[in-house]
Structure 1
Amino acid sequence: MKDTQLHELLQQMTTNEKAEQMSQVVSMLVQSHSETGKITGPIAAMDVAKEDMSKSGSILGASGAKTLKQIQKNYMERHRLNIPLLFMADVIHGYKTVFPVPLALGCSWDLSAVEKSAEIAAKEASAAGLHVTFSPMADLVRDPRWGRVMESTGEDPYLNSEFARAFVRGYQGEDLEQDTDRIAACVKHFAAYGASEGGRDYNTVDMSERQLREYYMPAYEAALEEGAEMVMTAFNTVDGIPATSNRHLMRTVLRNELKFNGVLISDWGAVQETVPHGVAANNREAALKSALAGVDIDMMTPCYKQHLTSLVDSGELSEAVLDEAVLRILQLKQKLGLFDHPYRGADEKREEQLILSDEHRTKARELAAKSSVLLKNDGVLPLNTTQRVALIGPFTDSTDLLGRWAIFGEPADVVTLKTGLTKQLTAVETAAGCDIESITDAQISEARKTADNADVIILALGEPSELSGEAGSKTDIRLSEAQMHLVRSMRELNKPIITILFNGRPLDLRGILDESDAIIEAWFPGTEGGHAVADLLTGAANPSGKLTMSFPYTVGQIPVYYNAFKTGRPKEDLDPNDRYASKYMDAPNEPLFPFGFGLSYSEFTYGDARLSSNDLQPGGSLELSVDVKNTSGITGEETVQMYIRDLVGEVVRPVLELKGFEKIRLEPGEAKIVTFSIHEDLLKYHHHDLAYKADSGDFIASVGTDSQTLQHLRFSYKTHSSVTETVLEERYT
């Protein structure tokens, strides 16, 4: 169908039919059938079930080729203009073959592998009849109390941007219409949802526009530059206005500045939630304000369906607003080829062939190993396969390894840690030791008896998936007292302890770190988690993951992140005994584990870093190089990280900013020269007036293995006018 035909189709639609295209509900509200779809938000509170939503233009949560083909057929037969449905769902980190949660994927620092995971997710989802995924989540996160940190790739705007691009490329490919193995990406949550106050979901966000643009916007913008077809609004406020009804944010910033002309959809119920937010008196006003803000699709509320027609009839809302929204929706359906092929991609036979195929499982296993982070190793890893192992803990044989947002993943398909280990070790005995939140004397007794016969104890600990994800906010991010008691009890046996952590957020690991000889942060590793962790334990895989979100020493430090500002009284510049410094009296300022940290079984040695010049000229570049050598007998991968610091800015600049990285593979004894190019664009930042530019002055370029283990080199950059000259010019003009 050509654009002219879309415009003709639009002209044939009634105002009510346009309102229906702009509404989205779960499948059971469009067609009565046994499959209700996955429910990922409230229904009763929205009153959406009381309205006739059967002709809504898109549905979410349903899947399966046979089911969706039947829904599409029935829908088009009763739709006057035969406009096809859009099928959308939360395919966040895999469809049926579930990969590690996005926070873990970020820790792989492997863009090509993450792009491949999104491609595999798209293949499976498309064969199951889906057209759109609500991914990637590009929210920058700094507060592990917020359960949804598991959906982000971390605390750094540059790294999040690179991963957002990789996800979009993997989902969408190069031609959505021709490549039916791909699905459209919807970047979320616009904007700054990761900054919810107190780490509490759906809560207020309050920040300066400069901070918003400097740290929170880059990853969204990167996803849009990569061609993401959709954007989802955030639940939070931005500058005192809920994002979903924020005209400045959506019209001025998203549409005009970022040039986004795709479909903008609300998050679940967010249009109606402008009423309890206090910016709309009722559903009618909520519909009006959200439509004026440019929200094209109202997800899971009756606001648009109930009120858009009467708002147009009364003259309060121009029908042109509906026309531009509906045209964008029709254009997306056209881009997906749905007018010519309404059953696009849905194929029962292909679904059966693709889903959980050996190839997909192999990729999931490899990426789960790459995403895990070795936090500590006092020489006990890797294991010898002949060692007698006691595998103890509530995650010993648990299938709860998928994470909260793997809504289509099946526990029955999960490889547990017990299964993975028993395939690789000759002697494994298991005991529960405790439950997630409780422990009994009998469990301790059984665990001790099991451990008595072992050479080494592996503790499988963590948080259940229900304690993270959406609505999974917590004030206490330690493991339960039951699990802590188990650790202390096992320590009394004076045997090596290896702790495996399964969780969706950074944790307070005091009491775990000191009592463990080795710790692997496995996150929620997905379908092949048990195999992947066993590979790491035995040395079949060499740990290479590095943290993309700092682990706090204690919850009282939060938010704690590597790219913070230096204060006027920095602790490190003053006498340690000086009370009047920016510091805690009962804890260090630094996190327990910093951004970029992660160990390996290999040993990597960095030579002296060097700059090609100490002066960077406008329009030019200089090179930062370092020799990295594998001085061990084990092949391994190392992520070399490059940071820059602006020593004097017009506004305060962070102590470090990641500006480049390269993941290299080195054989035993092999060395490589890693080189980064530094140019003016890497020095730019948003000034007080939001101008995005670089200043003259001195900078520090740093390179190393993590954000705390670095070599520092100084260089200068001079623009045509310095910061001082610019300030004086502004002052006296």
Structure 2
Amino acid sequence: MHFASRPTMPLAGSIATATALVFFLYACGGNHLDSTVKQLDIGHTSLPLITVSGLQFKDMNRNGQLDPYEDWRLSAQERARDLTSRLTLAEKAGLMLHGTAPVLNDTTGAGTGNAYDLAALQTQISNLDINTFITRMSTDAHTMALQYNEIQALGEQTRLGIPISISSDPRSHFQYVLGASAGGGGFSQWPETLGFAAVGDATLTRTFGDIVRQEYRAVGITEALSPQADLATEPRWARINGTFGEDADLAKAQVQAYIEGFQGGTTGINSQSVIAVVKHWAGYGAQKDGYDSHNYYGRYATYPGNNFAYHLKPFEGAFAANVGSVMPTYSEPDAAVTVDGITLEQVGGAFDKPLLTDLLRGKYGFQGVIVSDWGIASDCDANCLNGVSSGAPSFVGFGTPWGMETATRLARFVRATNAGIDQFGGESDPSFLVQAVQQGLLSETRLSESAYRILLQKFQQGLFDHPYVDADAASSIVGNASFQAQALDAQRRALVLLQNTGNYLPTTGNGKKVWLYGIDPAIAQQYGYTVVSTPQAADVAIVRASTPYQTLHPNYIFGSMQHEGSLAFTDGNADYEAIKQAALAPKSVVTVYMDRPAILTNVQGKATAILANFGVSDAALFDVLTGKAKPEGHLPFELPSSMDEVVAQREDVPHDTAHPLYAFGYGLSY
């Protein structure tokens, strides 16, 4: 008879029972399996094959017999339980680390480069039993796929043949900030997630996710460290760019559609999925004074409006989509927070058991993998705490153990695991988890629970059976013409028309002289414009600007890269000087890239038309300016009228500056 799948059992005490049942059925001749089943395509492999009843299976542990975890006829749950029961303590600890794939000639220490260090990877995979890595490599699709296959070959050489999972920060947009997004590689280029919120079309967002899912799987990326379900309720915050704005209902719908696209449906992980890691649970957007908790000085989230529960709502969209993984926030609340009778602890999210176990797993019933953000178990040295006193800041001595700064590394691993963490981001030393079990600080059963969850997803994705990719096909999938055309259309649709004095737009370029700032002259010429050297000689001036920012903490590694502080255009700002120059032309058009909500109070009178963009190519921009397409976007956050009102608003409350220049949802068209 057919051996039907059963609901997932609680892990404690169940792995041995389930494994014994599977072995009993095998001992009875394997008659529980459907004799009419067809051969699964197991693709290329370096492993020996076993033939049973005319079907082929990989002998992953090379013992010459078909073990339950090797049998693709069984359910993912059954296979994961069997394999978990075979793991050593060290292998369980290795599974719980989400390392950084090392690259050759790495100058940043963060894994950026264009070729993997396969020797270093072999050490981590074979000696440390790590089999999940983030990639920050940037190269062409064919090379990425080839190198991914080499990594999988290393996985097949291990004792149990566990396949390798590769994750990535977003790499399909415009902004590249180390630790938040990844660069290049020829992927289709879409607006930032703020742009999808501006369009407000869940179908478009789902299509985006589906396309990126295909591109990622083509090169071997099986896990997306996205989306951000954080709410942009604090206008100064540096991470707004990766969110869906400040409105919880809009963000909830967008988060759900994004995950459904990446995971290939609403039912959870399947063989075509890229696992979505929704982040950052929870309340990360309410950062005190807008400072970011990658930095010690920005470790606090604050809730002066008692509005923490509002920040949970977007995650409900993730749970509706059966999201595979959740990443907790770095931030710690600066005062007591209670939600649904659960009082959070004043520590970083990865150490907060009420946040992870009581709220996430308890109230919301989340059953997937909880993966920490990077560096939560690492030490934050004096330079990390106080900023470097001389020289340039670096990742040396960097950590994010907020609320546990004075604890030992061992104590952080124990606290986070007991809180509910299944996998530690950016870690490559499993010895602490092994020591914790040996010293009685953690039970091996607790590690088995995490190992099972991680293995289950690998089985659900089909990595045990078909881990390799077609490197030749990757080049025709990643960034192909159809995908890029849809991405360009999304860029056009996401533009938000804020001002259009005298209905100047749309306008043709035919016979017009144009002065440009931040725009490729060749693109303007393709649309019929003649480029001139001064605004005074032009019929129209067109300016690309970006939301202003300050570098208030240059002595901190992330503080030196992130956009902080004022959102207002002021004299001396290069973009503002260009805007003032453009005003000398008879007509001027200004588009502002909004990674944060810009203050345009002193721009309005200097421009004929103003458009907000969230990542747009010159060609897509000119399509809209000349009427080949229409702007469809509406602001996903309000635009304040002054910094005084930004300072006065509450970090956790949306839409609450006193007199916004443009309200949430504002947008014109033609």
- Between 1 and 2, higher relative CO (CA 8 Å, sep ≥ 6) is seen in 2
User: Is 1:476 aligned to residue 566 of structure 2?
Assistant: yes
Long gaps (5+) in structure 2: 1-68, 70-74, 113-119, 138-143, 174-185, 337-345, 379-398, 553-557
Aligned pairs for 1:274-673 (under 5 A) are 275=401, 277-278=403-404, 281-302=407-428, 305-343=430-468, 346-378=469-501, 379-393=503-517, 395-397=518-520, 418-424=521-527, 426-429=528-531, 447-448=533-534, 451-462=535-546, 472-479=562-569, 481-493=573-585, 495-525=586-616, 529-558=617-646, 589-601=658-670
Counterpart code for 1:497: S
Distance in 2 between the 1:335 and 1:299 partners? 21
- 1:392-426 Cα offsets, whole Å, 9 max, x none, are 21x213xxxxxxxxxxxxxxxxxxxx4443322x2
TM-score, normalising length: structure 2: 0.72
Residue equivalent to 2:321? 226
Aligned pairs for 1:37-436 (under 5 A) are 39=110, 53-54=124-125, 55-62=129-136, 64-77=144-157, 79-91=158-170, 93=172, 96-174=187-265, 179-180=271-272, 182-202=273-293, 203=298, 204-207=300-303, 211-213=307-309, 215-238=310-333, 239=336, 240-272=346-378, 273=399, 275=401, 277-278=403-404, 281-302=407-428, 305-343=430-468, 346-378=469-501, 379-393=503-517, 395-397=518-520, 418-424=521-527, 426-429=528-531
Residue equivalent to 2:89? 15
Long gaps (5+) in structure 1: 42-48, 398-417, 431-446, 568-587, 602-733
C-alpha RMSD of the superposition: 3.0
Q: 1:466 to 1:236 in 2, by over 3 A?
A: same
Residue equivalent to 1:721? none
Q: How many residues align?
A: 521
**Deviation of the 1:460 alpha carbon:** 2.2
TM-score, normalising length: structure 1: 0.66
Distance in 2 between the 1:558 and 1:516 partners? 24
Q: 1:563 to 1:140 in 2, by over 3 A?
A: closer
Distance in 2 between the 1:72 and 1:552 partners? 50
Report sequence identity in percent: 24
User: Secondary structure at 1:390's aligned position in 2?
Assistant: strand
**Deviation of the 1:306 alpha carbon:** 2.6
**Deviation of the 1:75 alpha carbon:** 2.7
User: Secondary structure at 2:604's aligned position in 1?
Assistant: coil
Name the structure with the higher strand share: 1
Contact 2:169 2:225 in 1 (8 A): yes
Distance in 2 between the 1:51 and 1:340 partners? 21
Q: 1:235 to 1:565 in 2, by over 3 A?
A: closer
**Deviation of the 1:256 alpha carbon:** 1.1
Residue equivalent to 1:434? none
Distance in 1 between the 2:551 and 2:522 partners? 24
**Deviation of the 1:315 alpha carbon:** 1.0
Distance in 2 between the 1:114 and 1:140 partners? 17
Counterpart code for 1:359: S
**Deviation of the 1:249 alpha carbon:** 0.3
User: Secondary structure at 1:260's aligned position in 2?
Assistant: coil
**Deviation of the 1:84 alpha carbon:** 0.9
User: Secondary structure at 2:605's aligned position in 1?
Assistant: coil
User: Secondary structure at 1:497's aligned position in 2?
Assistant: strand
Counterpart code for 1:234: T
Q: 1:467 to 1:73 in 2, by over 3 A?
A: farther
User: Secondary structure at 1:232's aligned position in 2?
Assistant: strand
Counterpart code for 1:594: A
Distance in 2 between the 1:124 and 1:35 partners? 25
Distance in 1 between the 2:602 and 2:444 partners? 62
Distance in 1 between the 2:410 and 2:598 partners? 43
Counterpart code for 2:447: L
